[in-house]
Structure 1
Amino acid sequence: MSVATLGIQGRCAHCQRTLLLECWQINAIAINEAFSCTHCRKALQLNDPKQIKRFRSLDSLAMLKASLLIMVCTVLMVALLLEWLGRISVWEQLNCSLLAVFVYFISVRFARQRQHMTLTLEAAKAHAD
């Protein structure tokens, strides 16, 4: 997944700059590791429990696109079968198919909007060795 498609930004606690987080920085946040700001080179970490919960909720969106594709294919096949058996008309099959595709695009758009977030990164706490 490229950085541009993730849309996760971070605001540095030291220099107050907003930076587009790279994949390795997102991985560091995921494993609760400190990383340095690309501008001021000071250590940063995500410590806010609400933001951590929202960040972790992105995992549930990962399988959404595949699930939606399966749903659309199933609806298309069932509508085609019902039309072939004479249970529904061609127009009803078209309406079912268009509705399934519409639900797919709306859901994917919602998921992409939900992925865009700005995390407030705080100064990292020193680790005791």
Structure 2
Amino acid sequence: MTGAIGIKGHCAHCDITFELKAWQLNAIAIEVPFDCPYCQRVLALNCPRQLRHFKALDHWALVRPGMVALTCVVLIVALVAEWLGLLSVLGQFNLSSLVVLVHFAVLRYARHQQRLTLNLQAVNPALPIKQLARIACARLGQQ
């Protein structure tokens, strides 16, 4: 599925670009840092412009089914208009060709908008793991 999404991450620390997996995309969406698969540094998306662009990808999710529905409806309407004599066969063919061309152009543009490389910066975790373990043990001991 990640190959179809086309979103890549670029680690600023080890300078490697890699395909982001679904759980990494979810971590970026909820702004939780995650480990780089290569250098094991904790990464986060700090650029507000890229974060806005990443969150705007939700708007492109319905383009494909919407275009399929629109194309089908226009092709059926053109066929019915040709049967009723409102369009000639050549007019119906031109309209159908134009709709299919627009369909593929819009899908190509949407796919281009979804291809994205996010620049991920290495961040320091808020607390080291040892401190987090001590806090967890203390809280469990209180119960």
TM-score over 0.5 for the pair:
yes
Does residue 24 in structure 1 map to residue 23 in structure 2?
A: yes
Q: CA RMSD in A?
A: 1.3
The alpha carbon displacement at 1:86 in A equals: 0.7
Give the Cα–Cα distance (whole angstroms) in 2 for the partners of residues 60 and 44 of structure 1: 26
Shifted more, 114-123 versus 37-46: the winner is: 114-123
Secondary structure, aligned partner of 1:126:
coil
Gaps of 5+ in 1: none
**Which of 47-56 and 14-23 deviates more?**
14-23
Partner of 2:114: 115
Question: Who is 1:97 aligned against?
Answer: 96
Letter in 1 for 2:4: T
Q: Larger helix proportion, structure 1 or 2?
A: 2
User: 2:51: which partner in 1?
Assistant: 52
Aligned residue pairs total: 128
Unaligned 5+ segments in structure 2 are: 133-143
What are the Cα deviations for residues 69-119 of structure 1, in whole angstroms up to 9, with x where unaligned? Answer: 111011011111111111110110111111111111111111111111111
- 1:104 partner amino acid: H
The whole-number CA distance in structure 2 between the counterparts of 1:118 and 1:107 is 21
What does residue 65 of structure 1 align with?
A: 64
Give the equivalent residue in structure 1 for 2:76.
77
Q: TM-score, normalised by structure 1?
A: 0.93
Query: What is the alpha-carbon distance in structure 1 between the residues aligned to residue 79 and residue 123 of structure 2?
Result: 57
Q: Is the 8 A contact 2:42 2:125 kept in 1?
A: no
TM-score scaled to structure 2, two decimals?
Answer: 0.84
Aligned residue for 2:37?
Answer: 38
Q: After superposition, what is the alpha-carbon deviation per residue over 1:14-47, rounded to whole angstroms, capped at 9, x for unaligned?
A: 2111111111111111111111000011100111
CA distance in structure 2 between the partners assigned to 1:87 and 1:97 by the alignment: 15
